[in-house]
Structure formats: structure tokens, C-alpha cells
Amino acid sequence: MKVMDYLPYLVSAWLFLIGLYGIVTSRNLIHAVTCLAVVQSSTYVLLLAIGYRRGGTAPIFFDVPVGTRAVDPVVASLALTDVVVGATVTALLLALAVQIHKRLGTLDPDELRAMKG
Amino acid sequence: MPALAALPVAIPLLVAAALVGAGPLLRRRVADTVAIVTAAAVTVLGAALLARTLGGTTVVWFGGWTPRSGVALGVAFAIDPIGAGMVTFAGLLMTAALTFSWRYFDTVGILFHALMLVLLAAVAGFCSSGDLFNMFVFFELLSVSAYALAGYKIEDPGSLQGALNFAVTNSVGAVMVLTGVALLYGRTGALNLAQIGTTLAAAPADRLVVVAFALLLVGFFVKAAVVPFHFWLADAYAVAPTPVCVLFAGLLSELGVYAVARVYWSVFSGPFGGHTPGLRAALLAGAALTALLGGVMCILQHHLARLLAFATVSHVGLTLLGIALLEPEGLAGAALYTVADGLVKAALFVLVGILAHRFGTLEELELRGQGRALRWAAPLLVLGAVGLAGVPPFGTFVGKALIEEGAGGAAHWMAALFMVASALTAGAVLRVSGRVFAGWGPTVFGGRDESAEEAAKRHEAEEGDELRVSRSLIGPSMLVPALVLLGSSIAIGMVPGLSDRAVVVAARFADRPAYAGAVLGGARAAPTVAAPTPAGGRLVAAAPWTAGTLVLAVAGAAAALFGRRLPSRLRRRGLRLTVPMVRALRGLHSGQMGDSVTWLLIGTAGFGTVLAAVLR
């Protein structure tokens, strides 16, 4: 029981860290962008875990008695908004990666040392 | 009245959508005009809001979902003079940037205007919002349009790479912000800033609240480019089109600092009120490091956009110093400094953009002596350097004086820090002026450790785009924005009694119970009036330090330009000391995405540890 309570939070932290590890060690921009999507998905899990109520139904109060236990609808809408934001960022980044591949013929960040401080 | 609050967000969004929809039918000049008029309208609306909110915080609950007995279900805009001031400032910068782009681009798609306007709408929403999640959404809207604008010159590989690094690093920061928001929601069941603040203040802060605070702070620090989260910034600025840089330099990082101030004072000042000294020390250390490292990196640059980018990092550090004092005077100083300094930096980017437009390069050495053909721009660039140094009559002087006074017993340290950091950035700009317009100085860099071949390659990568802009004459549409921006910064410094007014406004911003009362109670809490200290005193106290800044800046620029004439033994010793450090610093700023995310992680761990220690 105890483990099941903590599991979503652990999953969220794991997604965050493993995604960051992927970005840091990435040798391919598409891979890096996908890892960023993994990092972002940690927030979906976290949000839904926070709003979860044991034994709660979906928050549709149409033909259920008043006072029925339901999961938090606010976090669901936050997660939805978050998905939209994440999709926008991912789409933009993938477009950039495609352009880079078109111009330079490579997706390896190490080969793209165009800039030096 | 709700309309007035919502219009700065709604108008640019609707116009952007209309522009994209009507895109193929529109002539370029029509789109330019519509965009400029829209930005100017937002400026006027922002000013109207500013005038209105001076009397009290304007709160608007959309759809009439007002709070019941302290519980907010709806989404609110809560606008105070600092937020309204940021909206006005953003509108002004956007008007200048769009006017500048009138002639800067030979061809530009309608999407450019649309992205700029979406960014403006997002800034207005971000500064007006009284809701933590909405702040996140507006910040993401702002960031996504900024990523796209940074990579706008899609034909240039350097530009794409800079934008990619910018986007990935900032998105990780955004995830941290959202995680912090989610944790706070889990603890308090609220997203409204005032309600979260009230709920948290009722109980002592536990570890969860500290973690949420650390995540929010780090996330916003990434956006603000505080060291060591600043690695993306120079790459993004070096590659973005100059009109976009005009906007970024004045606005983007400053919004991160604004977010830190907003979140601290409306949410966390209750539970962490007892830990102010430790928190203050931690924030001051980060801010000081940012100011100094940014200044040092600034003088090491020979690409003008990168040079100004690091000047931005340095001055964001200075602004954060004001916030980090965690008291109203510092906040008031930071607010004035943000605006006055942002205007100067934007003007400098306009001038640099004029150079790029005319000569097709931004490499300082290639521009050496070229500026003689544009002699009229020289005094403007020098004037910009003077503004960076915080010399009266620039508004930067008033802001700086307020922050220094706010430091109380440590005022001398604060003044010395301001002197060194702004002398570095102002000195770098003076050096550029001397080299470009007078042809002074050597033809190579003293401490440069880069082979000619490497330089040529990097140069090609960074500059390919700028070479493609036409080398037509400089029209009034390029000169006027520079003049207006510099003039506005001076005007801010000339308004009588502005610093006292700013202190009163900042005291209201920092008064959490009054903010909560205004938002949740529906009642307009009486603004707390701080006992105004005589403005003359703080200005007099700041004067000698300002003179020192100017002397240091001029001396530094002269040393860089005429250092060859120093005795060779002295010079060699100096080089032996500095070259390894310079090489190490340059090595750190590799422009690699992986590196900047690694530093983000290291910084998060370090900052989190410090916060955990001081907020125990």
C-alpha cells in the first residue's frame, strides 16, 4: 500500500532524471528532443498523481449523487494544457532539427560546433 | 475596467491571428504598419493601466468567478504598478524593435510580425496574471515565440543551433517551474498567488515547500540567465536577428527576475519570512557572481552581439542584487534599473544592428575604423556606454542609487560591485566605440588564442546571415528607435520624485497581506506608505561611485586599445596571469546543448543544497 502511494512520484522523478541524462549525453538531436519530451512527461505523471483520489470516479457530476468522491479535475486540465505546451515545443524543436539536418547533413551535436565562446 | 486589463493581451493576439490569416493578401508595409500600431497601442494601454493602478491593485476575475470566502476558483489578473510598468516597457521596446525592422529586413514574412505580437501578448499576460499556472502558460507562450524568433534566420545553421540550445535549456527550466507549481498545488489546493501565499503563511514551511520554492527559483533563473544557468543566452543572442535582440536584451531576462520577485513576495515571503538573512545571502551571492562573470565575459568578446549579450547577463545580475535584498527599497531600485537599463541595452542593439546593416559584419576587428562613414552614430554608442555605467541623467543612476541605499550597512560593498560590473560592460562598449569609429587599437586581440582559420570559420557560421542583408543607407526608421530608447532612459532619470514614488509602489508589491486582501477580499487594501527618505541623500551617496565607474570604464577601454604602448614586461606579466583564465572561461562557454544542461543540473543541485541549508 505504502509503495503504491509513492510510486507515481518516484516514476515522475525517474522520468525527469533519465530524460535529463539523455539530453546531456545525446549524440543525436532527434534523440535529444525526444528526451526533452520524456522530461516534460514527468510533469504529467506528477500532476495526475497529485489529483488522484483513492476510489474516486471521473469528475463528471451528471448522474451521480452529490458528494461522490471524484479525482481532481483541475490537475487534469493543467496536464492537458501542459501536453499542448509540450507538443508545441517538441514540434518546433523537431522542425529546427530537420532544418539543421538539411543544411549540414548531420544531427550530431559534437559535429555542429559552429559556435565557440 | 476589465477591458482595460485584458486588452494588452487580447489585442496583439487577435492582430497576430488576423495577420497570419490575411498573410498572402497583405503587402509587407501594411503588415509592418499594423504591427507597429498594435505595439504602440499596447504601450498606451500599459501607461493607462499604470496610471490607474497607482491608486490600488486592479483585480479582474474573468467570467465573474470571484472568490468566495478566500477560495479562488476563477482565474484573475491582478495588476499593480510594477506589472503595468513592465507592460508599458514591453510595448515601447516592441514598437522600437518593429520600427527598426522596417528597413533592417529586405524581405520578411508575415510570420515574423505575428510571432513578435504573440510574444508581446504573452509578456502582457505574464505581468498581469495573479495566477501561478497562468504565469507558467504565458511564460511558455513567450518562450516558444522567442525560440522561433531566435531561429528565424532559418538559412543560417548557427542560428538554428543557437535556437535549439536556447529552447532545450529553457524548456528544462519550464519543467522545473511546472513541477514547483504542481507541488504547491498539491500542498495548498490553490493556483492563485494570493491564496497560495495565505495558505502557506498559516503553517511553518516544511521540506516540500522548500523544494517547490527551489524549483520555481531555478526555473526562473534559467530564464533570467543567472550564472550558472546563463550558457544558452549568448548563443541565442549572437544568432537572432538584431530587431529580435533589441527585444530580448531589454525584456527576456528581466522577466525572469520579475517572476522571482513576484513569486517570492506574493507566495513565499510568509513562510520564509523568518529566514530572510540566509536567503538574502544566498541570492546576493548568485547575483554578484552573475554580475561579475557577465562583465568579465563581456570584455572578452569580439563579436558585438555576444558582447552585448554578456553585458545583459551582467546587468541582470545587478538587477537581481536589488531583488535579493528582499526589501522594498532594493525592489524599487531593481524595477527602475530594469526599465532604464533595458532601454539602454535595446538602444545599443539598435546601434549594433545599424553597423551590421551598413557593413555586413559584427566582428569588432573587421569593423575597425569603418565607422568613420557613420560618424553620427559614435556619440550615440558612447552615450549608451555612459547609460550602462549608470551616470546621471540616465535612469540607471536612480535605480542604482536606490539599490545601494537599500543595502543599508553593506552599501559600500553593493556600490563597489555595481562600480566594477558596470565599468566592465561600459568599458567594453567604449572600447568598441574607439575601435570602430576612431580606428584606435591593435588589429588583433591581445589575449586571443584562436587561429585565423578558426576565426574565419566561426565567423562564417555566425555571420553568414548578416552579410546577406542589403547594405543600403541608414534611414530614419533605424535612427529614431535608438534616439527614442536612449531618450526614454534619460527621461526616467529626470522625472522628479520618481525614486520616492517607486519606493511606495515597491512597498505595496512587497506587502503580501495587502496583496492577498486586494485579490481575495475584494476590498482595496490601503497602500502602506513607507516613510520616504530624502532622495537627495541617496543620489549624493552614489555620486562618487559613479565617477569611479566612469574612470574605470575609460581606463579599461584605453588599456584595451592602447595597451601595446605599456612597457612590454608589464604587459607580458599581465597576459601570463590572464590568458589561462580567459582560456578556461572560453572553454566553459562551449555553446553545446549538453554542457548547458549539465550546468543547469549542477547549478540546481548547488542552489538546492544552499536553500535547504538556509531555509531549515
Q: From B309, which residue of chain A is nearest by alpha-carbon distance?
A: A117
Residue whose C-alpha cell reads 559552429 in the numeric block: A114
Name the nearest CA neighbour of B315 among B264, B254, B240, B406: B254
Between B124 and B452, whose confidence is greater?
B124
Amino acid B451: pLDDT: 45
DSSP B266: I
One DSSP character per residue, B504-525 reads HHHHHHT-HHHHHHHHHS-S-P
B544 has a pLDDT exceeding 80: yes
Q: Select from B175, B185, B454 the Cβ nearest to the Cβ of A40.
A: B175
Mean pLDDT within B219-226 = 93
* B74 contact A CB<8A: no
Amino acid B526: pLDDT: 53
Q: Most confidently modeled of B420-424, B433-437, B533-537?
A: B420-424
SS3 B129: strand
Q: From A80, which residue of chain B is nearest by alpha-carbon distance?
A: B137
User: Tens digits of per-residue pLDDT, A25-73?
Assistant: 988 999 999 999 999 999 999 999 998 888 888 888 888 888 788 888 8
Amino acid B445: pLDDT: 62
Amino acid B446: pLDDT: 52
Residue B535 pLDDT grade (very low, low, confident, very high; cuts 50, 70, 90): low
CA distance linking residue B9 with residue A59, whole number of Å? 31
Among B104-118, B165-179, B211-225, B297-311, the minimum mean pLDDT is found in B104-118
CA distance linking residue B181 with residue B216, whole number of Å? 7
Residue B143 pLDDT grade (very low, low, confident, very high; cuts 50, 70, 90): very high
ipTM value, please give it.
Answer: 0.93
Among A29-33, B428-432, B566-570, the minimum mean pLDDT is found in B566-570
Amino acid B523: pLDDT: 52
Between B542 and B460, whose confidence is greater?
B542
Mean pLDDT within B393-422 = 89
Among B177-181, B201-205, B474-478, the minimum mean pLDDT is found in B474-478
Give a three-class secondary structure readout of B137-201: HHHHHHHHHHHHHHCCCCCCHHHHHHHHHHHHHHHHHHHHHHHHHHHHHHHHCCCEHHHHHHHHH
Between B106 and B330, whose confidence is greater?
B330
User: Tens digits of per-residue pLDDT, B161-190?
Assistant: 888 889 999 999 999 999 999 999 999 989
Among B209-218, B398-407, B458-467, the minimum mean pLDDT is found in B458-467
Name the nearest CA neighbour of B538 among B336, B375, B355: B336
Between B459 and B163, whose confidence is greater?
B163
Range A3-116 classified under CATH 1.10.287.3510: yes
* B140 contact A CB<8A: yes
CA distance linking residue B238 with residue B311, whole number of Å? 13
* B52 contact A CB<8A: no
Q: From A49, which residue of chain B is nearest by alpha-carbon distance?
A: B186
The ranges assigned to domains in chain A are 3-116
* B609 contact A CB<8A: no
User: Tens digits of per-residue pLDDT, A94-116?
Assistant: 998 898 888 888 788 777 765 44
CA distance linking residue B287 with residue B410, whole number of Å? 15
